[in-house]
Structure 1
Amino acid sequence: MIEIVCGTNRPGSVSATIAEIYADLLRQRGQSCEIVDLSALPADFTVSALYDNAGANEAFNRLANRLRQVQKMVFIVPEYNNSFPGVLKAFIDGMDYPSPFKGKKCALVGVSSGVQGGGMAMSHLTDIFNYLGMHVLAQKPRLAQIEKNLEGDRLTNALYQQLLEEQVESLLVY
């Protein structure tokens, strides 16, 4: 099982669409997967599930437990203000310590409206995962100007499709 984390809590996000595309690529190769959609987090989770309230919020715990159970993850990382969304950082910070990410493997996919494709966002997230002991796949597709390269639930950019397919193949043998 591979968990795909949609790295934003924005309803109807482009990142959620990319997560679905990625899930289809994994399923086409016979790999089971599920999507952890951060839009399912309780709106008050930074108060009701972290720090002194760690373990007290069942909705947060359900999402966090899914990541504790798997050995591989994919993070769809939208670029917000030249980094990744704060909701993803808060979700990571809400996990147990020592980190349930330690020794696990992950892949990152950057998504942005701009021309950088989330490169800085993935760099920041890679630093955090390295600190937590997670192994990050070197291939990190950057899907820049995503709105120009997406029609509904389909990528129209052949290079983007190829990059995702290559990353999926690498992740499966990683």
Structure 2
Amino acid sequence: MAATTSIVIIVGTNRPNSMSRRIAEYYQRLLNQYDTPSTILDLVDLPHDFTFTALYANSGKNGAFNELRSHIDGAEKFIFIAPEYNGSYPGVLKAFIDGLPYPNSFTNKKAALVGLSSNNQGAATALSHLNDIFSYLGMNTLALRVKLAQIQAHFHDSEITNPLYKELLEIQAEQIIRF
């Protein structure tokens, strides 16, 4: 099952050495098994002052932000790895989305959502909030939203150890490739 379009995997936090980054790398290896190219866009690479230097009247003026934005402009499919922060997804992800050109950055594009948390809910509310934003922006999201609850207990040595989590991610990867 091969695809010619690269998928952008977005690490939804700017926390250095995040679990989200490790899950993104796991997902990228999974896509590689299906001969599907992908790129990881890690929000840790955002300029520290991007909310002042790249948004609103400064749109298009921050080269580092524009480089990250170019990955969005050229892609048709995305995988968002969204950790749960305070009952939703990280504010830095919202600020990044807000910095993209409206309304066309995500219109008619496709996304898969993966949530992770240290609690028992697997970022279910965060994924719901994110899905609402994408619906508003005209992006189509897969119905299967993978929720990785208590992720620290199920991820060791760069591998997911929970068989159900592995299966759900494999199913979702196949779906986003065909989507």
Aligned position for 1:126: 131
- Cα distance in 2 for residues equivalent to 1:155 and 1:147: 10
Q: Report Cα offsets for 1:5-56 as digits up to 9, x if no partner.
A: 0000000000000000000010110000010000000010000100111001
1:163 aligns with 2:163: no
1:100-139 alignment, distance < 5 Å: 100-139=105-144
Alignment of 1:51-66 (within 5 A): 51-66=56-71
Distance 1:59 1:153 in 2: 29
- Secondary structure (helix, strand or coil) at the match of 1:126 reads helix
Q: Within 2, Cα distance between the matches of 1:98 and 1:145?
A: 35
Partner of residue 153, structure 1: 158
1:144 aligns with 2:149: yes
Name structure 2 gaps, 5 residues minimum. 1-5
Residue in structure 1 matched with residue 3 of structure 2 by the alignment = none
The residue number in structure 2 matching 1:5 is 10
In 1: Cα distance, 2:120 partner to 2:91 partner? 21
- Tell me which amino acid in the other structure corresponds to 2:133: I
Deviations along 1:50-86, whole A, 9 cap, x unmatched?
0111001011111111111011000001000010000
Aligned-residue CA RMSD in angstroms?
A: 0.6
In structure 2, what residue type is equivalent to 1:149? H
- 1:72-117, Cα deviation, whole Å (9 max, x unpaired): 0000010000100000000000001223100000000011011100
Percent same amino acid at aligned positions? 52
In 1, the alpha carbon distance for the partners of 2:54 and 2:85 equals 23
Segments of structure 1 that go 5 or more residues without pairing to the other structure are none
Residues 1:40 and 2:45 are matched in the alignment = yes
TM-score between the two structures when normalised by the length of structure 1: 0.99
Match of 1:70 in 2: 75
CA distance in 2, matches of 1:171, 1:53: 34
Report the 3-state secondary structure (helix = DSSP H, G, I; strand = E; otherwise coil) of the residue aligned with 2:20: helix
Q: Does 1:99 align with 2:113?
A: no
